[in-house]
């Protein structure tokens, strides 16, 4: 027996499984399984990536000053309190490393993002799952689950894979009711899709126990570049910067994110097309007898009558070259998560689901 063993909790981690991107034997697939921007990367970001190739022998900056300044200007924030990470996943992981360990509890909601659990287990902390109310965050249930051991509370708002969200007054009530030693992490991966919602930025500034995370992977169309950021109390940001790798973001990633932020036409078009096509898709599916909750993000959680029906529909969609996401591991076995694609993709997935409902197998 080897005496070389990993830290406690690590072997309990269920490996993260990403959205499928191909189907054996089927060509011309459309991928609607990873909530990616259907319009491809912004041309400005592509150009920045090409330009960055000339300087690849140079180390990137360690302080991300230019990108932080650009984010601060775009969102009206204090640049000193921004930290950039390799996707927002890295910020979530750093928070676990810095604030939780064996004996500590990390709360996430029933249908919350898989990374919260993985992050907690990776540092030996105990993940605590809190029930939602009909696929919506239940603030009272979270507050009731808090103990002296609670260190972190993860909440995606809007949530993935449900697409639902709670209002800022409810988020504020949650932050105000947490025990003194607990930090609220507001995951705003889909915040930009919600008109007039700041992701919780003002709440971060008003309190000392809230951190917000954001990403360039969704609305900004840079999932492959891996850039995210956090906004928090100065002392929390200082803590995270101590454990962050000094060169965590490549010069290419920094340049791409900065350019994407500046391409406001791309961002606006992505947002408005998502709003329009999300409504169209939800209605088309409802007409085929497939309901969904009102989504605030760039995907729809389509509900079927049973797990069998959801799986059969997924199998049929794959045979037609349409890849969506099964969400059984998120305790939603009757549902399929469908990213809002471009218009042709939305029409194709709705058409296929209509055929399936009409008896095609």
Ligand X SMILES: *Cc1c(COP(=O)(O)O)cnc(C)c1O
Tell me which residues touch ligand X (CB under 6 A).
Answer: 35, 87-89, 113, 156, 160, 187, 189, 215, 217-218, 223, 228
Min dist CB 148 to ligand X, Å, is 28
Interacting residues of 28 by C-beta distance below 8 A, sequence separation 6+: 321
Other Cβ atoms within 10 Å of 272 Cβ, number = 10
Q: Which is nearer to ligand X, 189 or 350 (CB)?
A: 189
Q: How far is the CB of 160 from ligand X (least distance, A)?
A: 4
Cβ nearer to ligand X, comparing 94 with 352: 94
Whether the Cβ atoms of residue 13 and residue 118 lie closer than 8 Å to each other = yes
Nearest approach, Cβ of residue 115 and ligand X (Å): 7
Write the secondary structure of 181-229 as one string of H (helix), E (strand) and C (coil): CCEEEEECCCHHHCCCCCCCHHHHHHCCCEEEEEECCCCCCCCCCCCEE
Q: Which is nearer to ligand X, 64 or 348 (CB)?
A: 64
* Residue number, nearest CB to ligand X: 87
Answer for the pair 295, 278: CB distance below 8 angstroms, yes or no.
Answer: yes
User: Which of residues 129 and 309 has its CB atom nearest to ligand X in the complex?
Assistant: 129
Pairwise CA distance, residues 184 & 169, whole Å: 14
Smallest separation, CB 113 to ligand X (Å) = 4
Q: How many CB atoms lie within 10 A of CB 225?
A: 23
Minimum distance from CB of 85 to ligand X (Å)? Answer: 8
124 versus 230: smaller Cβ distance to ligand X: 230
Shortest Å distance, C-beta 87 to ligand X: 2
Among 92, 98, 100, which residue's Cα sits nearest to residue 8? 100
Cβ atoms of residues 157 and 167 within 8 Å: no
Return the number of the residue (189 or 282) whose C-beta is nearest ligand X: 189
């Amino acid at each position: 027996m080897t005496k070389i063993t990993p830290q406690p909790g690590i072997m309990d981690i269920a490996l993260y499984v990403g959205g499928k991107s191909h189907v054996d034997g089927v060509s011309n697939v459309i991928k609607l399984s990873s909530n990616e921007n259907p319009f491809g990367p912004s041309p400005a970001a592509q150009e920045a990536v090409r330009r960055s190739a000339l300087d690849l022998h140079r180390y990137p900056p360690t302080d991300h000053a230019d990108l932080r300044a650009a984010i601060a200007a775009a969102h009206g924030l204090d640049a000193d309190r921004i930290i950039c990470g390799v996707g927002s996943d890295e910020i979530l992981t750093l928070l676990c490393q810095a604030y939780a360990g064996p004996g500590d509890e990390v709360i996430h909601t029933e249908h919350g993002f898989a990374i919260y659990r993985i992050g907690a287990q990776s540092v030996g902390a105990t993940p605590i799952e809190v029930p939602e109310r009909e696929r919506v965050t239940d603030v009272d249930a979270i507050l009731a689950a808090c103990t002296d051991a609670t260190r972190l509370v993860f909440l995606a708002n809007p949530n993935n894979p449900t697409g639902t969200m709670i209002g800022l007054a409810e988020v504020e009530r949650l932050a105000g009711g947490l025990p003194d030693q607990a930090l609220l992490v507001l995951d705003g991966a889909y915040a930009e899709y919600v008109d007039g919602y700041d992701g919780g930025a003002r709440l971060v500034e008003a309190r000392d126990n809230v951190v917000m995370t954001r990403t360039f992977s969704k609305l900004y169309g840079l999932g492959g570049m891996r850039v995210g950021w956090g906004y928090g109390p100065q002392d929390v940001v200082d803590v995270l910067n101590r454990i962050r790798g000094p060169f965590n973001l490549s010069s290419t990633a920094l340049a791409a994110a900065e350019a994407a932020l500046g391409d406001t036409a791309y961002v606006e078009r992505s947002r408005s097309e998502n709003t329009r096509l999300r409504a169209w898709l939800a209605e088309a599916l409802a007409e085929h007898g497939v309901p969904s909750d009102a989504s605030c993000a760039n995907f729809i959680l389509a509900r079927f009558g049973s797990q069998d029906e959801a799986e059969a529909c997924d199998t049929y969609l794959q045979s037609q070259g349409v890849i969506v996401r099964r969400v059984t591991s998120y305790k939603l076995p009757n549902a399929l998560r469908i990213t809002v694609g471009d218009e042709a993709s939305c029409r194709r997935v709705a058409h296929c689901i209509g055929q399936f409902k009409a008896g095609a197998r």
